[in-house]
């Protein structure tokens, strides 16, 4: 994916990949806008939320594999490190008599 694809706003990627329509005809005829836009138009019928693209449904909205895994592994390592350090601090405090449980 090129840098220009990565920096497109979510609603632009949404339009490019054929968004689904969500209809509500309970209180009148269809008033669906011709194309989805950056803001909610306040109509009964609407285009699906652009956030559904994050489920990996399209080519450019989800996580690309290598970068996603690397970022996830970095977050997991940091979380493990924080947990390990907190455990060590707790043991030191317990041995010093500052912690009772």
Predicted confidence at residue 88, as pLDDT, reads 95
Region of 53 (left: φ > 0; alpha: ψ -120 to 50; beta: rest) is alpha
Predicted confidence at residue 61, as pLDDT, reads 45
Chain centroid, CA 12 distance in Å: 16
Q: Bigger pLDDT: 51 or 75?
A: 75
Cβ proximity of 47 and 32 under 8 Å = yes
Q: Verify that 20 and 46 share a domain, yes or no.
A: yes
Q: Bigger pLDDT: 57 or 16?
A: 16
- Which residues span the domain enclosing 68? 64-101
Q: Verify that 58 and 68 share a domain, yes or no.
A: no
Count the domains in the chain.
Answer: 2
Question: Is 0.85 surpassed by the pTM of this model?
Answer: no
**Minimum mean pLDDT range among 10-19, 20-29, 51-60:** 51-60
Predicted confidence at residue 78, as pLDDT, reads 93
Predicted confidence at residue 39, as pLDDT, reads 74
Q: How far apart are CA 18 and CA 5, in angstroms?
A: 16
Q: Verify that 68 and 80 share a domain, yes or no.
A: yes
């Amino acid at each position: 994916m090129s840098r220009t694809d990565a920096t497109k706003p979510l609603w632009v990627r949404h339009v490019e990949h054929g968004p689904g329509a969500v209809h509500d005809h309970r209180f009148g005829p269809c008033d669906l806008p011709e194309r989805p836009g950056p803001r909610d138009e306040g109509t009964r019928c609407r285009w699906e939320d652009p956030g559904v693209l994050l489920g990996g449904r399209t080519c450019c909205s989800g996580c690309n594999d290598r970068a996603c895994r690397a970022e996830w592994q970095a977050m997991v390592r940091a979380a493990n490190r924080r947990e390990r350090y907190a455990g060590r601090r707790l043991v030191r405090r317990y041995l010093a008599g500052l912690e009772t449980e």
